[in-house]
Amino acid sequence: MHDPVVAKENGKYYLFNTGKGIGVYASTDLENWEKMPPVFPEKPAWTDSVVPDFENHIWAPDIIKKGDTWYLFYSVSAFAKNTSAIGVATNKTLDPSDANFQWIDHGIVVRSIPDRDMWNAIDPNIIFDENENAWMAFGSFWNGLKMVKLNEDLTKIAQPEAWRTIARRQRSFKLDNKDPGDAALEAPFIFKKGDWYYLFLSWDLCCRGKESTYKVVVGRSEKATGPFFDKNGIPLNQGGGSIVLEGNEDWYGRGHNSVYHFEGEDLMFFHAYDANDNGAPKLGIRKIDWIDGWPTLKDFK
């Protein structure tokens, strides 16, 4: 599996990940997982307008709850292009056996188009600021990770539009806009701990087996919208980022993380390629210790 995000409801954990119609797993202990039906057995009707002949391989979801409603954001994209869109679906419960279980799709929240946008509408993550305003962080490569304010029902961009660039890396611009080139960053995830908002993101290249160079870096801010700074005081929107997790000889390309507080512990979820299993992509979980206000990982269970 790739790109895990997790929610807990009535004592059960639900993991959503990149896959056919959005993959779903359920667990009571975070160790043993049962495969569940996908969110979209059939592709959302609007997706062909973004990616012609879309094959229902949906990327990088994010799951949050507001009031009594679950919101599932997800990405539709052509690989290695910024021909992309982020959509959102809602449900009253995550339990397929519940009579109220039904995913209702609300269509496109934001879309990116080549030669128009120097950002990519993928990898959404939602954070609420101190005034309970919802902001969506997203994006990869090109001119950095973006953030935009959402309306109250979380289905559209708020008006008037409010945008931020929350992270970027220097790009050589030797390549045309259709190639993201050497500014490799993606998968933002913001987690509030104490007085700080921590922006986690992934640097370098995913999805290449043993050639994957993915790693997780972090910065922090006193505001949900940034600016975020790394341990050395370098702004993340000027190339900063302190490494939290990277690959090794046993696990290639560890990255695309999410972070949650479950059962009294802060946990990081991510994917990695198992060198001892022909590079199969698998779920990783680590506990987080906070040392001098910064995350340090240790083994889970």
The two structure tokens encoding residue 237? 């929107």
Active site annotation includes 3? yes
Whether 75 contacts 88, CB under 8 Å: no
Least Cα distance to 73 among 100, 32, 109, 115 occurs for 109
Residue for token pair 């945008």: 163
Tokens of 238: 């000027």
Dist CA 75 CA 185 (whole Å): 16
Q: Is 186 a catalytic residue?
A: yes
Locate 257 and state its tokens: 């993380």
Give the Cα separation of 268 and 165 in Å (integer): 24
Sign, CA torsion 4/59/166/232: positive
Of 200, 244, 201, 193, whose CA–CA distance to 222 is shortest?
193
- Which one of 123, 186, 204, 230 is the catalytic residue? 186
Catalytically annotated residue among 3, 62, 117, 123: 3
Bridge partners, 281 (sequence order): 273
d(CA 214, CA 230): 18
Q: Tell me the torsion sign for CA atoms 161, 72, 290, 244.
A: negative
Distances (CA, A) of 44 to 38, 51, 82, 87: 12, 12, 19, 9
Q: Assign 165 to helix, strand or coil.
A: strand
- The answer to whether the bond into 52 is cis (omega within 30° of 0) is no
Instruction: Phi first, then psi: give them for residue 283, nearest 5 degrees.
Output: -80, 135
Neighbouring-strand partners of residue 35? 25
Token pair of 110, please? 């934001």
Q: Which residues are catalytic?
A: 3, 186
